[in-house]
Copies of this chain bind each other. A is one copy, B any other.
Amino acid sequence: MGALEDLRDRLGEIHDLSRAASLLAWDERTMMPSAGAEARAETLGTLARVRHEMFTDDEIGSLIDRARSESDDAPAGESIDADLLRIVGRDWEKARRVPSELRAEMARSSSVAENAWLEAKGTSDFAMLLPHLEHNVELTRRYADCYEGFPGFDQTYDALLDEYEPEMTTAQIQGVLADLREGLVPLVREATENDAPTAADLFRGDFPADPQRRLIAQMISELPFPDGSWRIDSTEHPFAISIGMGDVRLTTRYDETNLGMALFSAMHEAGHGLYESGVDPELRRTPLSKPRSLGLHESQSRLWENWVARSRPYLERLLPRLRENFPGPFDGTEAPELERAANQVERSLIRIEADEVTYNLHILIRFELELEVFEGGLPLTDLPEAWDARYRDYLGLDVPDDAHGVLQDVHWAAGAFGYFPTYSLGNVIAGQLWDAAGNDLGDLPSRIGEGDLASLGEWLRDRVHRHGRRLSPAQILERAGCAELSVEPLLEHLRERVALAIRA
């Protein structure tokens, strides 16, 4: 057996173990009886450990070296083998840098801190979380230190960001998000200080779960998924996960007082799911078969949630089905009204409840604060104050307590520093891809109005999904006709939303 073949076999086995872990994670949040939690944690721990040991083995490194000499060194996207060796080589170098003990300690610390966070949030007591946060930050610094001299890493935050958005630098994301802030702060002020009448919230009311389930199943079955390749279940916190080619699991939450919850979160998760299910089958069972960046991933969920599902033509087609599943509330509703209800703009304190226009300000605040913690010397004790100041500044809101402020998200307690900016990056990329798809396909809203979701799906599959990890987000955007990262398409889209909200 050649080195490349041997390497592919081993990587295939490691990939299979992560498929198993994905199913265990999905099951834990959708199906598992509560008493199974302890055994599940052990099982997931073992799968992670065995996978890590198999991957960081010296033999993998030597197979990569030998395989390189068997393979050509074609530019990205030209040879699967060359792409595989490039990506796996970098993964292996990265994985080897961090001692197992540190990884284990980070996992333990996150788990303890997440529990402390639940309690701290419940009593709005930041001091309770503080020591855990300090430990997380210290461990994260030690983690970043492991990457001293790693190619492309110039500062601590580079190593953190790379975990979620590989090969994007802190400087790059800072630039993009500064542009976004510049456009967004005044836009949000305009939208929300205008005393515009609020549209009737048609998605609030009495919506039994069963017809919600039927409606959502209809909506998802019209999306361009391959036959028999998905399912949707309910969870507390909606997510999407791929268990393997042909097996994508979506979840949503059925809130019987708020139809918008299930409807838009299902479309969001379906966007993630379409990405996973659109990867080129030739990449199956290799590390190339997973999408490359969280930003790109989020761009897909946002496209379907915001650009498609909140658009007039989509909602217009949805209306008869809303009436059919929920006799009464939508009887006299017309499409423009429904569109306004789906696109209200309102400043709020809680990120996960934010609308499309204000959402990115929540992200900017978190990004800027974590950057200050890791690069600017902001002591964690000052975090609540810094948080509140920025909410006043960007959103004009007073934070009444830490539960509605710095304690609202789990990410930092979970040790996930560097994750937040990928949410906004996703929105930025979605705006660019939407415009590029429109350029290629012609009038997208008309297509959607005709029920043609397949064209957009096909375009995204061809330009984005199928590449898996072969191309970087920058390479994908360039080939899709988007040139440089730019916040302008997103801002233009949000300006239209604001205009709509103000008109209402």
Contact = CB atoms under 8 A, between A and B. Distances in A.
Interface of A: 12-13, 16-17, 19-21, 23-24, 27, 31-40, 42-43, 45-47, 49-50, 226-231, 243-248, 284-285
A445 to B, nearest CB: 31
Nearest to A53: B13
B230 A33 contact: yes
B20 A244 contact: no
20 contacts: A13-B49, A16-B43, A17-B46, A19-B39, A23-B23, A23-B24, A31-B231, A32-B247, A33-B228, A33-B230, A34-B228, A35-B227, A35-B246, A36-B243, A36-B244, A37-B246, A39-B243, A39-B244, A39-B245, A40-B247
A131 to B, nearest CB: 31
Contacts of A246: 33-39
Copies in the assembly, this chain: 2
Interface of A is mostly: helix
A241 to B, nearest CB: 12
Name the residue in A13, A17, A43, A230 with the highest tally of chain B Cβ atoms < 10 Å from its Cβ.
Answer: A43
Given A50-B50, A244-B40, A35 B228 contact: yes
A45 B285 CA distance: 13
Given A23-B27, A39-B246, 15 more contacts: A13-B46, A20-B21, A20-B24, A20-B47, A23-B23, A31-B231, A32-B243, A32-B247, A33-B228, A33-B231, A33-B247, A35-B227, A35-B247, A36-B247, A50-B50
Nearest to A248: B33
A247 B20 contact: no
Most buried by B among A13, A32, A38, A247: A247
B284 A35 contact: no
Contacts of A248: 33
A16 B42 contact: yes
Contact of A284 (B33, B39, B228): B39
Contacts of A31: 31, 231
B47 A16 contact: yes
A43 B20 contact: yes
Contacts of A23: 20, 23-24, 27
A16 to B, nearest CB: 4
Given A13-B49, A46-B16, A38 B245 contact: yes
Contacts of A230: 33
A231 B35 CA distance: 11
Most buried by B among A27, A34, A244: A244
Contacts of A27: 23, 27
Contacts of A20: 20-21, 23-24, 43, 47
Contact of A226 (B12, B35, B37): B35
A47 B13 CA distance: 8
B39 A247 contact: yes
Contacts of A43: 16, 19-20, 244
Contacts of A285: 39, 42
Contacts of A32: 243, 247
Contacts of A226: 35
Contacts of A228: 33-35
Nearest to A16: B46
A19 B50 CA distance: 14
A24 B47 CA distance: 14
Nearest to A285: B42
A284 to B, nearest CB: 7
Nearest to A247: B36
A239 to B, nearest CB: 16
Nearest to A35: B246
